[in-house]
Amino acid sequence: MSDLGSALLHGLSQVDAKLGDLLESTPDAIVVVDALGIIVLVNSLAEQLFRYDRDELLGQSVEVLLPDSFRRQHVAHRAGYFQQPHTRTMGAGLELYGLRKDGVQFPVEISLSPLKTERGTLVMSAVRDISGRQRAEKKFAQLLESAPDAMVIVNGHGVIVLVNSQTEKLFGYRREQLLGQSVDMLVPTPHRARHPAHRQAFFQNPRARAMGTGFELNGLRADGSEFPVEISLSPLETEDGLFVSSAIRDVTERKRFEQALRDKNLELENAAKVKDRFLASMSHELRTPLNAIIGFTSTLLMRMPGPVNTEQERQLTTIQSSARHLHSLINDLLDLAKIEAGKVDLLLEPVSCRAVLEEVEALLAQTAEAKGLLLQLELPHERLTVQADRRALTQILLNLTNNAIKFTAHGTVRIACGKSTRAGNILATIFTVEDTGIGISHADQARLFESFQRLGAAAGRREDGSGLGLHLSQRLASMMKGKIVCESEMGKGSRFIVVIDGEATA
C-alpha cells in the first residue's frame, strides 16, 4: 500500500476502526477517493470486479477505472460533486460503464456517499456490475417483442413502464407516448373511474389471471375508438418491486364471428320451425292425392269399371309405378326430416326376431316370386329376442330385402338371424340379407349409406327408389345402438349385416 493510502487509512481508522471490515462485508465493489480523485481505499470485490490488485489501484486516479470516452467529462462531474456532496442511490437513470484492467468495458450502476474524515471529505462509491441484468433485460425485451399479444407492464401506481410493438399497433400510440403514463389512458371513460380500484385489488392479492375469465372488457385507441379485448394478468417480481404484466388481445373479429354464428343459429332455428310446420301441414296434403291416384289406377287395372286394352294397361301400370315411387320418396323424406328434427321416439323393448323375419317374408314374397327369385328364410330359435323398436327394425329389413330383390335378376335372396356370444352371453344380435345379384363396387360401397345414393347407378341400371332407404336404415339402426355393414363384390352378389348391440335372450 502507498504512503498516502496508509496515512488516509490511519485517519479513517480514527473515525471508525471497523470501517475496513464493514467495506469488506458489503455486497458491492467499494472504491473510496479523495477530492483530487485519488483512490485511497478499495475492498476485495473491487479488486475482483476491475481485475486489479489493491496496490495497483491505491494512489491512482479513479479515472483509470473509466473508459476513455467518459474520462474527461467525469473530472468535471467529480469536481461538481465535491462542491455539493450528497448521497446518490443506484439506478439514477445514467448509462455508466467501467473499464477492467484487460480493457474490457462493462455496464455498471454506482451509488455515491460523502464520507467526512479528519483529512477532509472523501466519496465512497459502491459499484455494481449489471452485465447479467442487462442481458436478462434484453432477453426479456426480445421475448416481449415476440409475444403475439400486446404486452403492457405497469408498476404499483399504474404507470406504464414497458410495452411491446404490438401495443403500439393495437392502441395506435407511439411507445414514447405510453411510457410513464397511467395505464388508465387505455381504458374507456365509462370504466376508467373503477379501474384504479381493480388494479389496487390485484396488487393486494397478485395472482395470474388467464384470458377469457368471463369479463366483458374494452380498450380505448388513440383515435378514441373502443374495441373488445381479453386480458390476462401476471404478477412480475423485479428489483424495483412488484409489477403486473398484461397480455391484451383484440377479440373484435371473434366477437363478430360469434354474433354472426348466433344470427345464423337463429335463422336456422326459424327455418327449422318453418320446415316442421310445412311437414306437419303437407304430409297429409301430399299423400292424399297420391293414394287416390294409386287406388283408382289399381281399380282400372283390375278391370272393375270395364275392360282395358293392352296399351291402356301399359300406361296405367306406368302411372301406378310412378305414383308409388313418389309416395315412397315422400315417406322417406318425411321420415328423414323427423329423425333430423329429433322427433322420432323409438320404443326399445324385447322383439321376437322370428316374428320380424316372418313379417318381412310375408310382405315381399309375392315381389320375389314375380321375378322368379327364391326368397329363402332361415328362422332363428323362436325364443330369440332383441332389444329394439319393432317398427324400425322391420323397416330396416324391408329396405334391405327389397333392394336385394330389386338388384337380383335370378337366384336367391336369403334372410337370416343369429347371435354373437362370448362366455355364454349374447353380445349382439345379427340379421343378414344376402343375394346373388349384380353386387356393388368398392367405390360405391364407400358412399353407400349417404343420402340420395342409388344402388345400381354405376352399372347403368334405372331402378325406382328415393336413394334414402339405406341412409334411413343406418340412421334407425344407430338409434337402436346398432349398425349396418355391407360386404359385396361385383357380379357375385351382396351381403348386408345388421348388428344390434346389447343384451338379448334366447
Q: How would residue 49 be classed by pLDDT, with cut points 50, 70 and 90?
A: very high
Q: What is the pLDDT of residue 16?
A: 46
List the single range of 8-17, 18-27, 257-266 with lowest mean pLDDT: 8-17
List the single range of 91-95, 201-205, 351-355 with lowest mean pLDDT: 91-95
pTM: predicted TM-score of the whole model, two decimal places? 0.45
Q: How would residue 461 be classed by pLDDT, with cut points 50, 70 and 90?
A: very low
Q: Inform me whether the pLDDT recorded for 2 exceeds 50.
A: no
Q: Where are the alpha helices (DSSP H) in 213-251?
A: none
User: What integer is the mean pLDDT of 404-429?
Assistant: 83
CB 420 within 8 A of CB 441: no
Q: Inform me whether the pLDDT recorded for 324 exceeds 60.
A: yes
Q: What is the pLDDT of residue 15?
A: 43
C-alpha cell at 485: 355393414
Q: How would residue 344 be classed by pLDDT, with cut points 50, 70 and 90?
A: confident
Burial degree of 342 (CB within 10 A; 0-12, 13-18, 19+): exposed
Q: What is the dihedral of CA 154, 155, 161, 166, to 10 degrees?
A: -10
Q: What is the pLDDT of residue 223?
A: 95
CB 418 within 8 A of CB 470: no
Q: How would residue 290 be classed by pLDDT, with cut points 50, 70 and 90?
A: confident
Q: Inform me whether the pLDDT recorded for 278 exceeds 80.
A: no
Q: How would residue 5 be classed by pLDDT, with cut points 50, 70 and 90?
A: very low
| Average pLDDT of the chain to the nearest whole number | 84
Where do the CATH 3.30.450.20 domains begin and end in the chain?
Answer: 3-129, 134-250
Q: How would residue 128 be classed by pLDDT, with cut points 50, 70 and 90?
A: very high
CB 5 within 8 A of CB 11: no
Q: How would residue 164 be classed by pLDDT, with cut points 50, 70 and 90?
A: very high
C-alpha cell at 101: 484492467
Q: How would residue 318 be classed by pLDDT, with cut points 50, 70 and 90?
A: confident
What is the C-alpha separation between 170 and 163, in angstroms, rounded? 11
From 150, 288, 302, select the one nearest 220 (Cα to Cα). Answer: 150
Q: Inform me whether the pLDDT recorded for 40 exceeds 80.
A: yes
What is the C-alpha separation between 79 and 75, in angstroms, rounded? 6
Strand partners, 88: 112
- Give the strand pairing for 150-154 and 241-250: antiparallel
- What is 134-250's CATH topology? Beta-Lactamase (3.30.450)
CA 329 to chain centre: 42
**Residue 164 CB neighbour total at 10 angstroms:** 22
Q: What is the pLDDT of residue 8?
A: 47
Question: Tens digits of per-residue pLDDT, 89-122?
Answer: 765 557 889 999 999 999 999 999 998 887 788 9
- What is 3-129's CATH topology? Beta-Lactamase (3.30.450)
Residue type, 126: A
Region of 54 on the Ramachandran plot (φ > 0 left; ψ -120 to 50 alpha; else beta): alpha
Q: What is the pLDDT of residue 284?
A: 65
User: What integer is the mean pLDDT of 203-209?
Assistant: 84
Where do the CATH 3.30.565.10 domains begin and end in the chain?
Answer: 349-505
Q: How would residue 56 be classed by pLDDT, with cut points 50, 70 and 90?
A: very high
23 Cβ contact partners less than 8 Å away, ≥ 6 residues apart: 30, 32, 41, 43
Q: What is the pLDDT of residue 159?
A: 93
Q: What is the pLDDT of residue 350?
A: 92
Place of cell 349398425: 483
C-alpha cell at 99: 473499464
Q: Please, what's the b/e burial string for 343-378 (b: 16 or more CB within 10 A of its CB; e: otherwise)?
A: ebeeebeebbbbebbebbbeebeeebeeeebebeee
List the single range of 5-19, 158-172, 395-409, 473-487 with lowest mean pLDDT: 5-19
344 Cβ contact partners less than 8 Å away, ≥ 6 residues apart: 335, 338, 479
Q: What is the pLDDT of residue 42?
A: 93
Where do the CATH 1.10.287 domains begin and end in the chain?
Answer: 255-340
CA atoms within 13 A on the CB side of 406: 16
User: What integer is the mean pLDDT of 332-337?
Assistant: 72
**Is 2.30.40.10 the CATH classification of the domain at 349-505?**
no
What percentage of the chain has pLDDT greater than the value 70? 86
Q: What is the pLDDT of residue 9?
A: 47
Place of cell 393486494: 204
CATH number of 255-340: 1.10.287
Q: What is the dihedral of CA 488, 481, 361, 369, to 10 degrees?
A: -30
